[in-house]
Amino acid sequence: MAIAPVNKFINVAVPVAPGVQKLYEVPTGTSALLLYAQVANVAIGVTYPTTTFWQRRTQRSTGSVSDIRVIQDAEIPPQDALVMVDGRIVLEKTPLVIDSLYIRGTQQGVGIVTNVVYDEPTGIATVSTLIKHEFSENQKITMGGMWFTCPTYSGITTNLFPNPQRSYVVDQIIGNVGTSKTFSIDIGGGGGNPHVYNTAIHRFVRAKLQCVEVITSSNVAVGTKFNVTNASYEGSTGELELTIGANTLANGDTIKIAERSIVLTCSMDNHFSEHEYPRTTDPVYDTAITLAVGVANESIRLNVGKSHAGGFVGPLEMELTASILENSNV
């Protein structure tokens, strides 16, 4: 019978991609010591990226989280490194709490991914960006916050890419260097499974009270307000569905959503931060929106504009190295 080792040293070595990434979570039956962690500036040329590194403790009974920052917005000079931990931070996984480590990188040249076409089995991914990317062939880049739907042994699932985090080399620029919005990289074969790019996935968090107001209606008094108890947004179509409870609204009625009244999270930062909608820059801000009534008149559907955004890409500028000692409790 195999016996689990009492102590085990592990090394975490990954590029720091744009946005938020989860570095480590204590395994079940284990406590851990973070002994050392540093981020190096590996960019070509003169850059001053910054990083924030923190421990997250999740309460297992309630799901509530607390983030304790080890360092925040620390600048890393060119050809230099930042030592964030040189000692011991105790990490636990008990019946009460789960500890994990996160990092966020901020740098220049970060673009928004709007589409990825993956060719299996060649492993070539053709990536499109919202604006020109200014990459060149053979340049190292990092990507993050993208989701793909792919068949697995248990059916169709949606998976975060890349996981684990890694860097890539630009294989080909499609178009002219400096103005191109498309490039290709070799991300490796997918084991015979096709992968389909998904626009960013949003999750409902909460909404302000009475944030939906009737502007015109054949059945409901103008000015009537409703509470939102759930929301779902499909970026590829622009359709937003709001659950507002029983009502007599009809197709073609118009409503207005209060400014920054609906709070969602987004898969582009792995649902780390909260975002309020509509913002002053959104197409439906302070606008009467025509709606379609949902099932049993408990939800309404409206088009708030498409979004093809689904991830980040930028030049490789930072790499992290961390040493962790795991202690088995079994």
Domain span including residue 94: 7-108+317-328
Where does residue 303 rank: exposed (0-12), middle (13-18), buried (19+ CB within 10 A)? middle
Task: Supply the pLDDT for residue 182.
Answer: 97
Task: Determine the residue type at 250.
Answer: A
pLDDT 10s digits, 231-266: 999 988 999 999 999 999 988 999 999 999 999 999
Residue 54 lies in a domain: yes
Percent of the chain with pLDDT over 70: 94
Q: Are residue 187 and residue 218 in the same domain, yes or no?
A: no
- What whole-number distance in Å separates Cα of residue 328 and Cα of residue 31? 7
Q: What end-to-end distance do the CA atoms of the chain give, in Å?
A: 14
Q: Which of 112, 16, 19, 125 is nearest to 311 (CA)?
A: 112
Task: Supply the pLDDT for residue 3.
Answer: 55
Among candidate residues 200, 216, 245, the one where a domain is terminated: 200
Whether 282 shows a pLDDT value over 60: the answer reads: yes
Q: Are residue 68 and residue 136 in the same domain, yes or no?
A: no
Q: Are residue 78 and residue 124 in the same domain, yes or no?
A: no
